[in-house]
Amino acid sequence: MSAHSEARLLASEIAKNRTILKGLYEELSEALLQDLPKLGRSQRAAIMVAGIVESYYTCAETVFLRISQFFENNLRPDRWHTDLLDHMTLEVSEVRPRVISSDTFSDLSELMRFRHFKRYYFSLAYDWERLDAIVHRLQRVHPNLDTELQDFELLARDL
């Protein structure tokens, strides 16, 4: 496969994952508007909201991994999640521009930490105050992340 074809494949993967991120964002919005009033701020509702947040970050991370593999593929095995997100803020001279802004990085860092907590500490006792803060981060980051990924997708199509 030619470099141009591989770049177009990367652009298509970014587009696909942007669609998934949008769907997860909309699912979260619907859950907050329709399901949460019915369930109340129960643990069952918290598990639902936390699961959507976890899936959202995992999808974003998947996009970043594809970009990293295409351009550099140089992540330390012991801290690749953190390194991956860090690398997305870097402009790599004569290779690629940065993928995300520092504001997007800050919000995604919180989502990454939350995802880590949810995956490895199997507690069902979610703190709604913390969950509200995480939901607010996701709501704030989504439009910025979508725009930044769209810009990068267009760049990849032109490689």
The 10s digit of each residue's pLDDT in 11-40 is 999 999 999 999 999 999 999 999 999 999
pTM, two decimals, is 0.93
Least confident among 84-98, 107-121, 127-141: 107-121
* For range 102-131, the mean pLDDT: 86
- pLDDT of 123: 64
The two structure tokens encoding residue 61: 């991370």
The two structure tokens encoding residue 111: 């989502």
Paired with 96 in beta bridges are 92
The residue count for the chain: 159
- pLDDT of 125: 75
CATH number for domain 3-157, candidates 1.20.120, 1.10.150, 3.10.310, 1.10.10: 1.20.120
* For range 115-136, the mean pLDDT: 82
Contact between 145 and 98 (Cβ < 8 Å): no
Per-domain residue ranges of the chain:
3-157
- pLDDT of 119: 67
* For range 82-111, the mean pLDDT: 94
**What residues contact residue 97 under an 8 Å CB cut-off, 6+ apart?**
91, 152, 155
d(CA 31, CA 49): 7
Contact between 144 and 99 (Cβ < 8 Å): no
